Amino acid sequence: MKLETFFKHFDLLAEAPNGVQKLRELILDLAVRGKLVPQDANDEPAAVLLEKIKKEKERLVKEGKVKKDKLSQSIIAEEIPYKLPTNWQWTKLCEIGLINPRNEVDDSKIASFIPMNLIPQSYNKEIRYEVRKWADIKKGFTHFADGDVVLAKITPCFQNRKSTVIYGLKNSVGAGTTELHVYRPINNLINPEYVLLYLKSAEFINNGISKLTGTAGQKRVPNEYFAENPFPLPPLAEQKRIVTKVDELMKLCDELEARQKKKQETRILINNAALNKLLTADTPETFTKNWQRIGDNFDLLYSAPENIGKLRQAILQLAVMGKLVPQNANDEPAAVLLERIKKEKERLVKEGKVKKEKSLPEIKDNDIPFDLPIGWEWVRLGELAKVIEYGTSEKSSELRDDVPVFRMNNVQEGKIIFENLKYVSATIKDLPRLYLQHGDLLFNRTNSYELVGKTGVFKGISNQYTFASYLIKISLMLEYISPDFINTAINSAYFRQTQINPEITQQCGQANFNGTKLKNTLIPLPPLAEQKRIVTKVDKLMKLCDELETKLTQTQTESEKIINAAVKQLLTV
């Protein structure tokens, strides 16, 4: 791809995943390689500029204004990362300026103080600072002055490109966090904004990451890398043209980013409104009309993977409200089903197969989250279960010959994941009582606030798996209840908002929801035949969501490949 083509299709490239960010990085890389603006044969070459800087430094040393530099090693061919235009030169920051200079200022002067959190990550962002007396900040902090370029040297600030040109300081001087490297140009012979482009470029950052020293979490970029890494120096006139062009393109990136953000916000608002109309439709005709509207605008509403999550939630909510499949007057009503369940539980208690539970509170009108179709009933979850109990507290291990244990991380997105399992001995006191049976539900009772309450259905082989104490097992009366329907209900928005959130307790950074509360939660119960129809419909729609997500991800991957290829081509031309 030629540079003209790049500029022509700038907007299009920005539409790729992370496209604007990639464009920003590309702009900086092109800038420091001499590929962003044309060279001018009339510019004073960088070699002459280097001589001027050298003489100026010698003069300052002679006058005692700066210390004499230590001898710097010459740049060898192996250190040169790419070829430069004819009138450019490879040099080092330590050769074209001062590294980490100190300020000589009267103690009574007011100065600026800049902590790490005020050093910007983005390009061309205004700097904020605190006002302090120079006497209070001159010791124990990094010194800088107007026109200096500062770089955060500690992780992760370095990787996040925290660096800036310092301007607008009180009395033109300041100090700040000790975690900075400072470059100071000599007598305006180097454009500091151009140096900033270099410090934010991918080449400099990526190479710097490989040079980090220190322990994990406290790694730093060595001064040697900052001061002596090969620096691509253009003529001064070209430095200014490059900075002007980068400013122009970064502004364009800002506009594209703002436009994309607005577009996405609008898409989310439209999607939310469309789904809300669907959920609040009070007649079958209105529901059909609103569903049709979503179908007609499907490509617009679901052109980004993040909106599909809301569609999934809407499907679950419609399912438990009785709006996803039509009712059938011939279905045995849920009230009759509940009577059957009650009699079956009484029989099991009489035979000693389950314990007799305390009666659950009567459901009052003000407890009910929403109205149900005819034939449905509100019921407490404890009435539908044979057993609701916590898992084992026995210490688990990696021994694969033992019994696999599901933990809280194994319950994800309404499913139980058979990966990253731990194991307990088959001889522990909790077994065989805590063996899972096919169709049992596992409920996440302790986790982060967002993940407490997530549930999945166990669809493995009975009597071969168990579960940890942070999970609760719900063993249902499977002859009368579809575990997949109950799973749909527990993972739906109404359950989260009305049954889980108000009852969550938080302690030591963990959220909790106990078994007693779980037994008291309200479930909208349809006839068994309708439960099965709902589960079939939910499965079908979720599969469509999966396919759509895969398709969107593939499209994004292809777009990413295209922009990556374009970037590679531009940088290697």
**Residue 466: what pLDDT?**
97
Instruction: Give me the CATH code for the 44-234 domain, please.
Output: 3.90.220.20
Span 334-526 CATH architecture: Alpha-Beta Complex (3.90)
Spatial CA neighbour of 468 closest among 538, 407, 404, 556: 407
The 10s digit of each residue's pLDDT in 218-260 is: 899 999 999 999 999 999 999 999 999 999 999 999 998 898 8
Domain chopping of the chain, boundaries = 44-234, 244-329+529-573, 334-526
Two tokens at 342? 């009650």
Predicted model pTM: 0.71
CA dist 140 and 163 (Å) reads 20
pLDDT at position 573 over 60? no
Q: How far is residue 56's CA from residue 46's CA, in Å, rounded to a whole number?
A: 15
For residues 121-127, give the mean pLDDT. Answer: 82
Over residues 54-59, mean pLDDT: 91
Of residues 84 and 125, more confidently modeled: 84
CA distance 186 to 168: 19
Q: What is the pLDDT of residue 168?
A: 94
Q: How many CB atoms lie within 10 A of CB 90?
A: 15
Is the separation of the CB atoms in 75 and 90 below 8 Å? yes
Q: Measure the CA–CA gap between 23 and 25, rounded to whole angstroms.
A: 5
For 421-442, the pLDDT digits (tens) are: 999 999 999 999 999 999 999 9
What mean pLDDT, rounded, does the chain reach? 90
Three-state SS at 165:
strand
What does 238-278 look like in DSSP terms, one character per residue?
Answer: HHHHHHHHHHHHHHHHHHHHHHHHHHHHHHHHHHHHHHHHH
pLDDT tens-digit series, residues 328-377: 999 999 999 999 999 999 999 998 888 888 889 999 999 999 999 999 99
Judge whether residue 1 has pLDDT over 60: no
For 73-138, list the strands marked E by DSSP. 89-91, 97-99, 110-114, 130-133
- Give the tens place of pLDDT for each residue, 463-475: 999 999 999 999 9
Lowest mean pLDDT among 37-51, 259-273, 327-341: 259-273
DSSP assignment of 452-516, as one string? TT-EEE--S-TTS-EEBTTEEEEEE-TTT--HHHHHHHHTSHHIIIIIIGGG-EEETTEEE--HH
Judge whether 360 and 383 are in contact, CB under 8 Å. Answer: yes
Closest by CA to 180, choosing from 120, 257, 234, is: 120
pLDDT of residue 85: 95
| Three-state secondary structure call for residue 118 | helix
Among 45-49, 160-164, 272-276, name the one with the lowest average pLDDT: 272-276
Examine residue 156 and say whether the peptide bond preceding it is cis (omega within 30 degrees of 0): yes
With cut-offs at 50, 70 and 90, classify the pLDDT of residue 288. Answer: confident
Same fold, 44-234 and 334-526: yes
